[in-house]
Chain A
Amino acid sequence: MFLAVFGSLLPFEHWTFVYEDALGVTPFSPGHILGTDNNGYDLLTSVIAGTRMSIFIAITAVGLGGLLGSALGITAAFIRGKVDLVLSTAFNVGLAIPNLVLALALVSVLATNVDMTEVVPIWRRVTVLVISLTIVLIPILGRIARGATLTWSGREFVTAARSMGMRDMQIIRKHIVPNVLPALIAVAFLAVGVVIIAEASLSLLGVGIPDGGSWGGMIARGRNDLEYSPHVLYIPVIFLAITVISTNQIGEVLRGRLDGRESKV
């Protein structure tokens, strides 16, 4: 997280700077704490850049997916009837398609140029990646929001609020959202981990961020030189693993807190 926020302020050369005198240097060498890869890219700066990219993509996708997913899920559960039927079916269809395949399809359709010779700009790749991952996340978080809303909207205090003359929107805002939010936040942290892995997988498959701009990209680049300089592969993998484990852990702790609180009320 620290690296993600302050990475660009650290006094390093840009991650694409090539150290031609130090190709494939092992970690802990002078000047290159994590070593360089066979093309002379410094791995520390690459990892920092990768962290920024991966976490930016993950948080944006989870944020957007969470916002849209929970809005749809809460609406479905609150209105019930036909709206619920349509949205739930859509969620289930979305869940039935394997995440990676869906994202892969979306990315490859949206982020390719008709003219093969023209390079797809990186911002477009990132945007498309975020959009695809968001689309993948909407049904996951939407269903959780729907489920949580269902358990709360049937409660007496919703009827009580109605008997006080509250409008549906006010009831959703003041009575449903505060109750549903903790569950969503806990799941959102788990989703961040899932998205980081999904993004890495896509990059590894060559449709994500190209040329080592993210962890997945670094892994993709490093796997070719596994025999000669394995650290090029290991370093982004370690960072990725640590981050995913941390987000999962945070998610678990939040969920534990939540369950404890829920048993109290």
Chain B
Amino acid sequence: MSVNFDTPRGSLEAVRGVDIEIPAGMSVGVVGESGSGKTVMCRAAMGLLQGSTVNRTGTVIFDGHELTAMSKEQVRELFGSGMAMIFQDPLTALNPVRRIGAQVSEGLRIRLGMSKSDAMARSKELLELVRIPNAAAVLKSFPYQLSGGMRQRVMIAIAIACNPKLLFADEPTTALDVTVQAQILQLLRELREDLKMSMVLVTHDLGVVAGNTDYVAVMYAGEVVEYAPTKKLFADMRMPYTEALLDSIPRVDHKSGTRLSVIAGRLPDPTNRPAGCGFAPRCKYAQDKCTTDHPELKTDPDGHIYRCWFPIGEAL
């Protein structure tokens, strides 16, 4: 799948030929720095990007349905019960003037056709499921009366309300502090197991991915640059970008006072992509070929996918 935006500066290629599979019941992490196309990819997959400037090409197959060939109406039928999304910022993803109860019960009433009172009762159960204390009172509150963590729990309750088969969690913990992050991730993990959902967990935090996913896709400049089972990826990474990303995380076993390594430079301009590898100017292993030829995806015999001419661990 690819997504292009028409901009005054030309066509902006936000997602470029991403091809990943999310196995049923599994959790796939999508990591990458800001602007690498993670969010756009998720929204495009669900068909939530709207407007005349959006061009989505390629295919999205969900549960045997080819979403790009379906009408808006048909895709809408899948929302909620088929696919659901948790949004990045729980503050803006909740309507400030409507009570929590109305917002949680909305999906139940639209998708499952529940009566108002049934939907409210179920909403209370959902809030309890996401461990919100005093659920009855929270149902009657407005979003601004809740803390960030509570709001994110409400978002999760809304997303899982209709038992989706696939849950997109778009940086569900970015807006939260670390202790709450851990609770939310724990909650997501448990819910996923209980409800047998597949999950796409989008984050820029490799640490979050390591503990919560079965597979990882690393995105860079709108492309998937590495895809492997989580354990394998961390044990044996092939893509220099992934390594650089991991190196930029502070580690306990570093001597104190060690300078945190950063990835110098920025993402390439998505309206004017370089001919070679997008990461080449920032890559410490880059060679001449990297700046002239765009690397294709290569697959190791064990299924480990990467996009690099000179992957780590190969004789140069």
Interface residues of A (CB under 8 A from B): 80-81, 155-157, 159-167, 170, 174-175, 178-179, 264-265
Using an 8 Å CB-CB cutoff, how does the interface string of B48-67 with A read, 1 for contact, 0 for none? 10111000000000000000
**Would A165 and B79 count as touching, CB distance under 8 A?**
yes
| Other A-B pairs, 13, CB within 8 Å; known A159-B48, A163-B80, A178-B97 | A80-B51, A80-B52, A156-B89, A156-B92, A161-B95, A163-B83, A164-B79, A165-B78, A165-B79, A165-B111, A174-B102, A175-B95, A264-B144
Q: How far is the CA of A166 from the CA of B97 in the complex (A)?
A: 18
**Would A179 and B97 count as touching, CB distance under 8 A?**
yes
Q: How far is the CA of A78 from the CA of B84 in the complex (A)?
A: 23
Which of B107-162 touch A at CB < 8 Å?
107, 110-111, 143-144, 155, 158
Shortest CB distance A51–B (Å): 35
Interface residues of B (CB under 8 A from A): 43, 46, 48, 50-52, 76-80, 83-85, 87-89, 92-98, 102, 106-107, 110-111, 143-144, 155, 158
Cβ-closest chain B residue relative to A265: B96
- Cβ of A156: which chain B residues have Cβ within 8 Å of it? 87-89, 92-93
**Would B79 and A163 count as touching, CB distance under 8 A?**
yes
Selected contact of B52 from candidates A81, A155, A167, A175, CB within 8 Å: A81
- Cβ of A81: which chain B residues have Cβ within 8 Å of it? 52
Interface centre among B87, B94, B106, B155 (most CB of A within 10 A): B106
Selected contact of B98 from candidates A159, A166, A167, A174, CB within 8 Å: A174
**Would B84 and A163 count as touching, CB distance under 8 A?**
yes
Q: Contacts A80-B51, A160-B93, A165-B79 hold; do A265 and B144 have CB atoms under 8 A apart?
A: yes
- Cβ of A179: which chain B residues have Cβ within 8 Å of it? 95-97
Selected contact of A178 from candidates B43, B79, B98, CB within 8 Å: B98
Q: Contacts A178-B97, A179-B97 hold; do A160 and B87 have CB atoms under 8 A apart?
A: yes
Q: How far is the CA of A264 from the CA of B144 in the complex (A)?
A: 8
Interface centre among A155, A157, A178 (most CB of B within 10 A): A157
Selected contact of B158 from candidates A155, A160, A264, CB within 8 Å: A160
Give chain B's interface secondary structure class. mixed
Q: How far is the CA of A174 from the CA of B78 in the complex (A)?
A: 21
Cβ-closest chain B residue relative to A180: B97
Shortest CB distance B277–A (Å): 33
Cβ-closest chain B residue relative to A176: B95
Selected contact of B48 from candidates A163, A167, A175, A178, CB within 8 Å: A163
Q: How far is the CA of A161 from the CA of B143 in the complex (A)?
A: 15
- Cβ of B46: which chain A residues have Cβ within 8 Å of it? 163
- Cβ of A157: which chain B residues have Cβ within 8 Å of it? 92-95
- Cβ of A165: which chain B residues have Cβ within 8 Å of it? 76-80, 107, 110-111
7 cross-chain pairs, A with B, having the tightest CB-CB distances, nearest first: A165-B79, A265-B96, A156-B92, A156-B93, A164-B107, A160-B93, A157-B95
- Cβ of B93: which chain A residues have Cβ within 8 Å of it? 156-157, 159-160
**Would A164 and B97 count as touching, CB distance under 8 A?**
no
**Would B52 and A164 count as touching, CB distance under 8 A?**
no
Q: Contacts A164-B158, A166-B106, A167-B76 hold; do A159 and B51 have CB atoms under 8 A apart?
A: no
Q: How far is the CA of A80 from the CA of B51 in the complex (A)?
A: 8
Q: Contacts A156-B89, A174-B98 hold; do A162 and B48 have CB atoms under 8 A apart?
A: yes
Shortest CB distance B195–A (Å): 17
